[in-house]
């Protein structure tokens, strides 16, 4: 069962400049940053708030580390902006399976490792009214 909006992913050309905008404008601070080599991105997670289910909601800022990454290709086509929305779930495997049975294409056969050690998968935007949708099971200590 989906429990919250885990994060909104925002693609950007310059991560440091974009982080500074969100810090100066809204007071959001970086909670976590990392480079995900598999996905070809450098990212910063800005914590917005805690949630009633023990999780949190974030803005995820994404800068591609290579042009052929999914985010790099998306930026080249669309420019900066909202890239995806992610919903938190306690069971990414089960929810992905249930959603797949409803006719929505799940992009990964098996969930992959995402930010902060989470387990993730994506749903095809053409099946989700144009919105790239991510399902996230957070690591227990986040």
Answer yes or no: are the C-beta atoms of 63 and 19 closer than 8 Å: no
Answer yes or no: are the C-beta atoms of 108 and 62 closer than 8 Å: no
Query: Residue 7 catalytic?
Result: yes
Marked catalytic residue, from 39, 63, 83, 134: 134
Marked catalytic residue, from 39, 60, 63, 83: 60
Query: Residue 60 catalytic?
Result: yes
Structure tokens at 135: 């399902």
Q: What are phi and psi of 112, to 5 degrees?
A: -110, 175
Query: Residue 32 catalytic?
Result: no
Marked catalytic residue, from 39, 63, 83, 84: 84
Answer yes or no: are the C-beta atoms of 46 and 22 closer than 8 Å: yes
Query: Residue 124 catalytic?
Result: no
Query: Residue 84 catalytic?
Result: yes
Marked catalytic residue, from 7, 39, 63, 83: 7
Answer yes or no: are the C-beta atoms of 123 and 116 closer than 8 Å: no
Marked catalytic residue, from 39, 43, 63, 83: 43
* Residue positions annotated with a catalytic role: 7, 43, 60, 84, 134
């Amino acid at each position: 069962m989906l429990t919250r909006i885990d994060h909104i992913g925002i693609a950007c050309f310059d991560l440091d400049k974009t982080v500074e905008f969100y810090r100066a404008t809204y007071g959001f601070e970086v909670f976590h940053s990392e480079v995900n080599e598999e996905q070809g991105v450098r990212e910063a997670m800005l914590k917005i708030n805690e949630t009633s289910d023990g999780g949190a909601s974030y803005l995820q800022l994404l800068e591609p580390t290579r042009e052929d990454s999914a985010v790099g290709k998306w930026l080249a086509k669309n420019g900066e902006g909202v890239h995806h929305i992610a919903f938190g779930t306690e069971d990414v495997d089960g929810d992905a399976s249930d959603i797949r049975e409803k006719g929505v294409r799940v992009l990964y056969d098996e969930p992959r490792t995402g930010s902060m050690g989470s387990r993730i998968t994506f749903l095809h935007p053409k099946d989700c009214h144009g919105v790239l949708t991510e399902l996230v099971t957070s690591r227990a200590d986040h």
